[in-house]
Amino acid sequence: MMSELAATAFVALSLRSIISLNSYSGNNKPPMFGDYEAQRHWQEVTVNLEAKHWYTNGTDNDLQYWGLDYPPLTAYHSYLMGHVAKSHNSSFVELHTSRGIETKEHKSFMRLTVLAADSFVYFPAIWALCVGLDRAFQSNVKQLLLLLLAFYPGQVLIDNGHFQYNNISLGLAAAAIAAVLWNKHYSAAFAFTLALNYKQMELYHALPFFSYLLATTLSQKSLKSFAIQLTTIASIVLTVFAILWLPWLHSLDAASQVIHRLFPLGRGVFEDKVANVWCSINVIFKLKKHFLNHQMALICLGSTLLAVLPTNIILFWRRSKYMFLLTLFNTSAAFFLFSFQVHEKSILLIALPAICLFNWWPKEMLWFLEVSVFSMIPLLKRDQLLVSTVAATFIFHLIFKCDYLKTKQQILYENNLLDSVIVISEILMISILIGFLTIEPTPKYPDIWPLIISVVSCAHIFLFLVWGYVKQFSKSDF
């Protein structure tokens, strides 16, 4: 199997390398550029300033210019990459003067840092996850799942196209899921705490981990075993947090500043058009006219809790590994639909558990992955990545809808109603995409196509959440 892993990794890295030759977020778009510049700027800030100043506004750190707004582990990663950049070419991270650098040499360096994260974090983690799924459920589909995780267009296009490091946070989350499947609960707590400290959006996955690990701890046969496991897990989580946050624990103000940067309520409930409930409601009911930001944040918090608590309570009382995966899917979908400040790229957090559920619901999960890529079309078009999107999605379809997989893996079972619904959905998405590319919007409604895409995608995701709840409330428990 190691040869199969090596072959998959080689082909997947080749695809990522080809995607990385294309445009990226903010390409030649001063003065702010885009996510590419944000990641580069964090290297500049962290390598030139003391850690205590990384999240603080100042002469050398203008927070209005891509101020660091991810947790400390991202900052440490930027610090490491910044030192590598400095040793290679100090102009990449010179304070102030390196802003907006877009040389061919620098682009190659930045793209290679993402490929390095793929190679050393994401690929090993998804391999462990696939083996864990095979072992836990005796499914014998680890190679197929590895292909799904390695070639899923959404993650490839966002990290290696748009430019981000979701491969690190998703890789750590995948490692944590794998640890749960292997019954390595201390390792799960460690890996997930790292994921949460790399990107705060991993809160989408936090409640299922908490519910599952708490239920597992309470199921211990003796009080001594219960106390040992609870103490150990709590110690792991608190120790990791303390080590990573140490530079900002010297005062309440310093820690509060980091938290404020991680959860900026001032940005509003959403920025760009995104496929969640609030953006869809805003079409007919302008939220910003009726609610202040803090009021909207409370509404989002209440709505999200209402949507996620039942699924996690079910997991707590009916603990199983299959239920854990389904709860991850439901919880992340609910967070995406109802929480505050959702970004298009957060759909990747639902895609990870969706792929884990592929063994039981192949058609549904492939359909969801299609919807997830469709929901990001406006973002990818902005980055001039539509050709890459079509190509990567086509390759994905070739791999997972070919005759070999239909017969060998038996992923396409008979279900005429579901088949019809999926076909209608795909025709709708393709029609909207064609309209988006060929029909110019009117001056009165310049954002009509991104809005249509977000509303249609939101409706799909909401139906998937309902579907997930139906499956979780049913008596079948794999």
CB proximity list for 429: less than 8 A, separation 6 or greater: 370, 371, 374, 456
- Nearest Cα to Cα of residue 129 among 335, 318, 354: 354
How far is C-alpha 453 from the chain's CA centre? 19
Is 300 contained in some domain? yes
What gap in Å lies between CA 330 and CA 332, rounded to an integer?
6
Other CB atoms within a 10 A radius of the CB of residue 435 amount to: 14
How high is the pLDDT of residue 475? 63
How high is the pLDDT of residue 407? 43
Is 172 contained in some domain? no
Under 8 Å between Cβ of 153 and 373: yes
Paired residues of 184 in beta bridges? none
Element of type H or E holding 427: helix 416-438
Is 63 contained in some domain? no
Other CB atoms within a 10 A radius of the CB of residue 31 amount to: 8
- Nearest Cα to Cα of residue 123 among 98, 159, 92: 159
Is 290 contained in some domain? yes
Is 315 contained in some domain? yes
pLDDT tens-digit map of 209-248: 999 999 999 999 899 999 999 999 999 999 999 999 999 9
Is 403 contained in some domain? no
Number of structural domains (the chain) is 1
Give the predicted TM-score (pTM) of the model.
0.94
pLDDT tens-digit map of 240-252: 999 999 999 989 9
What gap in Å lies between CA 82 and CA 346, rounded to an integer?
26
How high is the pLDDT of residue 414? 58
What gap in Å lies between CA 473 and CA 310, rounded to an integer?
10
How high is the pLDDT of residue 412? 47
Is 424 contained in some domain? yes
How high is the pLDDT of residue 293? 87
CB proximity list for 353: less than 8 A, separation 6 or greater: 177, 205, 325, 326, 328, 329, 332
Q: Three-state SS for 61? A: strand
Residues of the chain with pLDDT under 50: 403-405, 407-412
Q: Domain range holding 311?
A: 264-382+414-478
Is 221 contained in some domain? no
